[in-house]
Structure 1
Amino acid sequence: MDKLKQVLSGQDDGGDGGSSGILERANRATTLACGTRVKGFAICFILGAVCSILGACLLWIPGVGLIVFAVLYSAGNVCALGSTMFLIGPWKQLKSMCAKERFFATIIMLWKNKGLALLFCLLQFIAFTWYSLSYIPFIRDAIIKLFKLSM
């Protein structure tokens, strides 16, 4: 924890002459236990999902529905996306967002009307779930095999 305080206050040079960025230094300084990382991921992911679902449910309120949707859905996405930083750290998260296996899940975020917005909300939630699972070793392969067995 002291190392994190030093990095965030700018007192730590990281032993590399100051050539690394703040995210990289913060990533090196944070040392969370595995259980703490999983709990942080679960809390942020669930909070993000609740905000997004609540926003989608409030989309049809006359007058302010679109504004409430935009705020809650955006906050939910930021929170849910931030949840994966607990699993691998912020710097590695930012580097891996556009990796080949995550590219399409990263770009599904366009909409124009309420029906289309709801469709893309669902697609984005599925894409984000698939994206998040890519950080857990072998889980996506297990899910694919599960669906193959059920068909």
Structure 2
Amino acid sequence: MEKMSRALERAKMLVGMEVDEEVPAEAPSFFDDFNRQCTLTTQQRLYGFAVCLAAGLACTFLSILVFFNPIKFGITFTFGNLLALGSTAFLIGPKRQFDLMLDAVRIYATAIYMASLIIALFCAFYVHSKLLTLLAIILEFGALVWYGLSYIPFARSMVSKIFYACLDTEF
């Protein structure tokens, strides 16, 4: 148990959190109240993260079984992505997760990713168009990759340079 506590403290330091973070004296926001109500032990956080991530990955991989029905595929794939994204809130807390998502470095990637999730669900639930759902899932996957790359230093610029070099037609 002590090793898990130390590992969580190290993970908090890696993502820029202070280990003994104090609650600000300002008027409490929605996320401050939510964080205070959601006090979990280190072990509970790790279990929540593991279960949520496993369920998200299972939904994402099981969506391949219904690939030829794009509406079912869109729903399971998107639900799996939402669970996997929510799993990190167990580790760093929902407020910190929200703050990281709205950081200046990844605000556009977050907006495009969230919009693609909504578009995919809208196309699957309301439009019932297989082609639009499939296009929305392709957009969602690309946005997920771009959003994930925003957490790796210099990854997006490296991928952009590689694509530019591959698509450059001048010899």
If the TM-score is normalised by the length of the shorter chain, which range does it land in? 0.5 to 0.7
Which residue identity lines up with residue 82 of structure 1 in the other structure? G
List aligned pairs for 1:6-21, cutoff 5 A: 19=28, 20-21=32-33
Which of the numbers 48, 63, 78 marks the counterpart of 1:55? 63
How much identity, in percent, do the aligned residues show?
31
What is the count of residue pairs matched by the alignment?
127
Deviation at residue 114 of structure 1 after TM alignment: 1.5
Aligned partners of 2:166 and 2:68: how far apart in 1?
36
CA contact under 8 A between 2:74 and 2:134: conserved in structure 1? no
Which of the numbers 148, 164, 168 marks the counterpart of 1:148? 164
**Structure 2 residue matching 1:105: 3-state secondary structure:** helix
Deviation at residue 131 of structure 1 after TM alignment: 0.9
Deviation at residue 143 of structure 1 after TM alignment: 1.1
2:19 corresponding residue in structure 1: none
Which residue identity lines up with residue 163 of structure 2 in the other structure? F
Aligned partners of 1:135 and 1:82: how far apart in 2?
16
CA contact under 8 A between 1:48 and 1:80: conserved in structure 2? yes
- Alignment of 1:128 with 2:153, yes or no, is no
Which of the numbers 125, 149, 155 marks the counterpart of 1:139? 155
Which residue identity lines up with residue 140 of structure 2 in the other structure? Q
Aligned partners of 1:150 and 1:120: how far apart in 2?
25
Deviation at residue 48 of structure 1 after TM alignment: 3.4
Deviation at residue 118 of structure 1 after TM alignment: 1.4
Aligned partners of 1:54 and 1:103: how far apart in 2?
26
Deviation at residue 129 of structure 1 after TM alignment: 1.5
Which residue identity lines up with residue 21 of structure 1 in the other structure? D
Q: Quick check: 96-105 or 134-143, which moved more?
A: 96-105
Gaps of 5+ in 1: 5-13
Relative to structure 1, is the Cα distance of residues 146 and 104 closer, same or farther in structure 2, using a 3 angstrom cutoff? Answer: same
Aligned partners of 2:83 and 2:34: how far apart in 1?
21
Which residue identity lines up with residue 111 of structure 2 in the other structure? F
Q: Please tell me the root mean square deviation across aligned C-alpha atoms, in Å.
A: 4.1
Gaps of 5+ in 2: 9-21
Aligned partners of 2:91 and 2:152: how far apart in 1?
9
TM-score scaled by length of structure 1? 0.57
CA contact under 8 A between 1:48 and 1:76: conserved in structure 2? yes
Relative to structure 1, is the Cα distance of residues 123 and 15 closer, same or farther in structure 2, using a 3 angstrom cutoff? Answer: closer
Deviation at residue 54 of structure 1 after TM alignment: 3.2
CA contact under 8 A between 1:84 and 1:93: conserved in structure 2? yes
